[in-house]
Chain A
Amino acid sequence: MLNNLPLLTLLIFTPVAGAVLVSLIPREYPNLMRTLALAFSLLAFVISLPLFFGFDNQLTSFQFEERAEWIPALRATYHVGVDGISLLMLVLTTFLTPLVILSSWDNIKRSVKGYLVSMLMLECGMLGVFVALDLLLFYVFWEAMLIPMYFIIGVWGGERRIYAAVKFFIYTMLGSLLMLVAILFIYFYYGRVTGTLTFDFVQIRELLFPENYQTWLFLAFALSFAIKVPMFPFHTWLPDAHVEAPTGGSVILAGVLLKMGTYGFLRFCLPLFPNAAMAFTPLISVLAIIGIIYGAWVAMVQPDIKKLVAYSSVSHLGFVMLGIFTLNHQGLQGGLMQMVNHGLSTGALFLIVGMIYERRHTRLIADFGGLARQMPIFTTFFMIATLASIGLPGLNGFIGEFLVLLGTFLSNKWYAVFAATGVIFAAVYMLWMFQRVMFGKLDKEENAKLEDLSTREIMILAPVTAMMILIGVWAQPFLAKMETSVDYLIRNVQARAAKVNDAPGLAPYVASIPPLKGVKGVSLVSSTVPENLESTDLMNDEMNLNAHPVSKNTPRAPLKGGVCCGGAQSIPPLRGVRGVSLASALEHENFESKDLMNDEMNSIGYPVSKNTPRAPLKGGVDEENGGSL
C-alpha cells in the first residue's frame, strides 16, 4: 500500500513547499512564518513515520524506490530509495528539524524569513542526500545543501561568522569536486565495460572496478567524505563552523551534516570499492583513533562550552569511522547506531548550550558555576545529555560505543584498547565541564538571576531526551531496521573483494551473495536473509511496468546457482538485447521510448556501444520471458 504513494518525493519536497510559502509571507508577520515553518517540518516528520514503520526489515534491496527521468540525454535519473542504512538518518533529520526551528523561535530576530527558508531548504538537501540513488542526483543534493548552511553560519552566526562560513564552504567543496571527477570516471568506465551509460548507483554497484582504479576512486570519494565527517586531519573547519553557527545551525551540523560523511563511506566507498576499502582500513582506523583521542584531549582544555562540545564531535565521529571500518557486523551496526546517538546527544548538548547562552550571552565555563540549584529542570536535561554523550549504560550512547568497541576488538585488539581510552577521556572532559558549570558555589552575581527553562524549551528538550532513554533501554527496534542492510553490505564487500583479481570486466561477483531482488531459487545462498516472495514479486512488477526504459536495457549482474549454473562466464554475451526486448514487448513494452534511448545512446557518441557485448542478463528476467537468451 505504502509503495503506491511517492513517500520519499513527498518527504523531500514538503520542506521546499514550506520554504516557498514562508517566503511569500510579508515580513511584518514573523510569528506566522515561524508557525508555518514548524508546521511543515512537523509534516515532514509525520511523512517519515510510515517510512520507518512500513520499512521491511528483511529486505536487502532498497525500499520505497522511485524512479523518474531527469536528464535522459545523460542517463541521469531521479532515483531515490531507502535501506536500513539511510532510514535512521532520514528519520533523525526529520526529527531534529522541527526542534531546531522551535529552538530558534526567539533568538533569531533579524531576517527571520531568510533563516527559516534556509533551514527548510537545508532539510530538503539533507533528505535528498540520504535517499539519492543516482550518483549525479546525490552529488547535486550533496553540494546544494551547502548553500543554506553557508548562509545560516554566515548571516546568523557569531563574531567570526564569515571566516567560518567561507572555510566551511571551501573545505567541503574541495573534497567534493574531486568526487565529481570520480563520478565522471565511473560513468564512462561503466559505459565502456557494459555498453550502458548510467549514473544509477544500484546498477553501478554491481560492477567491480580493477584494483588500481579502485584505489584512486576510493581516495577521491573518501577525501570528500572525510572532510565532511570530519576525520583527523581534515577537522579544522569544524570547531570554527560550530562555534560561529547559531544554535540551530550547530544542532543540524552536528546532528545531521557530519553524518553525511560517514553515510557516504557506507553507501558508496564500501560497496563500490571493496578492495580499496580493505586496503585503506588500517590507515582510516588509525586516523579514526587519532581523532578519538585528539578530539577528547583538545576538548578537555577548552574554556568555551560550545567549542568543547564541537571537539567532542571529532572524538565521537572517530568512533563511528572506527566502527564502520571494522567491516564486521558489530562494528558497522555500532557505527550506524552511534551516528544516530551522536545526532541526539550532541544535538541536545548544543541546544542546551544555546539556551544558557541566550540567558547569559557567554559560553565560557569560567563564567558559570553552581547553576544546579538555580535551574533544576535545566540541570536534569543537561545531566542526561552529558551522560548520554559519555556513553553511560541505560542511555543511547552506550549501545553504539559498546558495539563499536566490540567490533573493533574482534578485528584488531590494539585498536580497541586505544579507542577505549577515548571513552575515559570523554567522561573526564564532559563531567569536569558539567561540574564546573552546574555544581559548586553560585558565586557570580549574574547567575543568581537565571531563570529555569520555559515551556517551549522543555518542549524542545523533552523529545530528544525521551529518544535517548528509549534507545538506551530498548535499542532492538532500531538495530533491527539496519540489521539486514548491514549484513548485506558486509557480505557484499567481502565477496566482491575476494573476486577482484579475476575480474577484468564486469564483475562476475556471485559467490555467497544474497539473492538479488526478484530472483527465485537462489535463496539457499543466504539462510539468514529469508526471501520475501511477495515483495520481490512486487518489485518485479514495478520494474517491468513502471516504464523506466533504462532498467530494461540494463544489464544485470550475472546470477549464480540454479538459474544459470557454473557462474556468469558461461552465459553467452548478449548483443543489443534484442531478444529480450521482443520478449518483454509482451509486457507492454514501449518501443518508442526504447528506440529513443538507443538513438540517444549513440548520440552521446559512446564509440563501442554497438559492438560491445552486453553483460549477461539477470536470471529473473529471462526466466520469466521463457529464456529468450
Chain B
Amino acid sequence: MNGIGITTQDFLLFLPTLTLTLLGLGVLILGLIFPRIYRETMAAVVLIGIAIAVFIIVNHNWSDKALIFNGMISVDKFSHGFAVVFMIAAGLTVLLSLNSLEGSSLLVSEYFALIIFATVGMNLMAASAHLLTLFLGVETLSVSLYILAGFRRTDKFSLEASFKYFLLGAFASAFLLYGIALVYGSVGSAKLSAIAEAISGANGSAIASPGLFTAGLVLMVVGFGFKIALAPFHAWAPDVYEGSPTPIAAFMATGSKAAGFAALMRVVIASGMMSNIDWQQVMWVIALATMTIGNIVALRQENVKRMLAYSSIAHAGYILVGVLANSELGSSAVLFYLLSYTFMNLGAFGVIAFMARGERDNITLQDLRGFAYRHPLIAVAMSIFMFSLAGIPLTAGFISKFYVFLAAVQSGYLWIVILGVINSMISLYYYLGVVVQMFMHRNEEEKPAFDPLPAVALALFIAAFGTLNLGVSPARWMEIFQDLARSVM
C-alpha cells in the first residue's frame, strides 16, 4: 500500500466507530427536526445505535492486527475489547441520564450526541496506531466532556467544573502534544510501530536522540496522568466530578478513564518503557501514591460524590499496577478491571443520581441515613457496588483486584501488592461507611419514597448484575481478555 490508498475495506473495518459517528450526527439532526421529542425516545434511538455497534464488534472475527487508513488506526482485538467497555459505559450513562435530564428537556439531543462523540473519541484512542490519531481521540473525548461537565448551565458548580476541567484538560493536552512532538522528532515517525522498531533497533532504525525521546515520553505520561487522574495530577477530579451532572461524572470516571488507560497502554507497549528500570520505579511510585492519596483523602469526605471521586483516583492506582506488571496477564487484568469498574462505579454514581432526583445533586452521607428502609432494593444494589469497590469476594471488584495483584506478583512486584492490599484495607472503611448509613441508622425524619424511573432501575440492575456476574463466574471474560492481551503484547 502506498501513499494515499484508502480502500472501502478500511471503512468496513472501521464500521463500529463509524456507526457511532453517524449515530451522533443522526441524533443531532433528529433533535433539529423534532425539537419536542421525548427524552425516552431519543435515549432508545441512542441505545439501539450503540447496540448495533456492539453487535458488529461482537460478531466480527477481528484479526490480531489490521492497520487501516494508512496505518493511522489499528482495528485489532485490543481496541475492540476496549470499545465494548466504552460502549457499556456510554449505554449505562444514557440510561442514568434520563433521571437528571428531567428539568432540561431542551438540550436532550445535544446531550446524547455529545456522549456519543465522546465515545467515538475513546474508540479512537484505543484504536490509535499513530500518535496523532491518539491525540485526535483525546481531543474529541475531552471537548465533548468539557461541554457535558457544564451542561447544567444554571448551576454555578457545574460551570466551575466545566471551566476547571477545560483549563486543566487544555494544559494536559498541551503536555501530550509537546511530548508527541519530541517523540516524533527523535524517532522520525509518530507511528507506534515505527517507535517500537526504533526501540528494538529492527530494520536498522534507531532513535536519533534518546534524551529527547525520554523527555517526550515523560511529557506524554504527564498528559495521560492528567486524563486518568493519577497522582500528582489528580487534583481536578474531585471538583469536576462534584460539579458535573452525576451521570457525566460517572462517565468520566469509567469510560474516560478506561480510554486514558487504553492510550497509555498503547504507548507503553510500543515504547517498551516498562522494561526500563527507571520507568518501573517512576510508575510504581505513581501507582502507590495514587492509591494512597485517593484512599486516605476519601476517608474524610462527607459528600458521597467527592468520596467516589477520590475512590476513583485510588482505583486508577490499582489499575496502574496492572500496567506496571507489563505482561499479558497484566494487560488482561487491566481490561478486566476497567470493565468491572465500569459496572460498579456507574452503579454507585447511578444510585447517587437516583437519590438526587429533583434536589441538589450533592448527596452527603447524612442523606443516605436509613436509605435501606425507603428503597431496600436500591440499597442492596448500592451495597453490592460498595462491597465491589472495596474488593470483597463474590463481586467483580474482588476478582479484578485479585487479577491485577496476581499479575503484579508474577512480575515480581510483591511489595506493591502488599501495600496495595493495605490500601484496600483503608478503603474498606469509607465504603463500609456508606453501607452503615444506609442500613444501620434508622431515618429520623420520614422522607417521601419515590419509585425510580424504569430506565434507572434497568441501569442499576444491569450494573449490579454485571458486578455479581463478573465476581462469581469471571472465566469467560478472562479468557476473552487474555486473548485480547495476547494480540498486543
Contact = CB atoms under 8 A, between A and B. Distances in A.
B311 to A, nearest CB: 17
Contact of B478 (A73, A144, A170, A177): A73
Nearest to A143: B393
Contacts of A174: 425
A269 to B, nearest CB: 19
B398 interface: yes
Contact of A74 (B387, B406, B429): B406
A418 interface: no
B425 A73 contact: no
B259 to A, nearest CB: 25
Interface stretch (B273-281, B286-294, B347-355, B416-424): B416-424
Interface stretch (A181-189, A338-346, A438-446, A620-628): A181-189
B482 interface: yes
B151 interface: no
B26 interface: no
A173 interface: yes
A467 interface: no
Given A71-B475, A154-B439, A181 B405 contact: yes
Interface stretch (A270-278, A469-477, A603-611): A603-611
Nearest to B424: A177
Contacts of A181: 405, 409, 414, 417-418, 421
Interface in A173-209: 173-174, 177-178, 180-181, 184-185, 187-188
Interface stretch (A159-167, A230-238, A569-577): A159-167
A151 interface: yes
Nearest to A23: B380
A162 B410 CA distance: 39
Interface residues of A, number: 42
A188 B329 CA distance: 13
Interface in B314-354: 327-329
A603 B478 contact: no
A143 B440 contact: no
Interface string A471-503: 000000000000000000000000000000000
Classify the interface of chain A: helix, strand, loop or mixed.
Answer: helix
Interface string A98-142: 000000000000010010000000000000000000001001111
Contacts, number: 102
A437 B232 CA distance: 63
Nearest to A71: B475
A140 B475 contact: no
A169 B428 contact: yes
B429 A166 contact: yes
A151 B439 contact: yes
Contacts of B439: 151, 154-155
Contacts of B486: 603
Contact of A154 (B376, B436, B473, B483): B436
B432 interface: yes
Interface in B261-310: none
Nearest to A145: B393
B478 A140 contact: no
Contacts of B478: 71, 73-74
A565 interface: no
Given A146-B392, A184-B409, A185-B414, A173 B440 contact: no
Given A177-B422, A178-B418, A73 B475 contact: yes
Contact of A147 (B328, B392, B414): B392
A427 to B, nearest CB: 39
Interface in B379-434: 387, 392-394, 398, 402-403, 405-406, 409-410, 414, 417-418, 421-422, 424-425, 428-429, 432
Given A155-B440, A181-B421, A73 B414 contact: no
Contacts of B441: 162
B102 interface: no
A187 B429 contact: no
Interface of A: 69-74, 111, 114, 136, 139-144, 146-147, 150-151, 154-155, 161-162, 165-166, 169-170, 173-174, 177-178, 180-181, 184-185, 187-188, 600, 603-606
23 contacts: A73-B475, A73-B478, A73-B479, A74-B478, A111-B373, A140-B394, A147-B387, A162-B441, A166-B429, A166-B436, A169-B428, A170-B425, A177-B421, A180-B405, A181-B414, A181-B417, A181-B421, A184-B409, A188-B409, A188-B410, A604-B328, A605-B328, A606-B410
Interface of B: 327-329, 373, 376, 387, 392-394, 398, 402-403, 405-406, 409-410, 414, 417-418, 421-422, 424-425, 428-429, 432, 435-436, 439-441, 473-475, 478-479, 482-483, 486
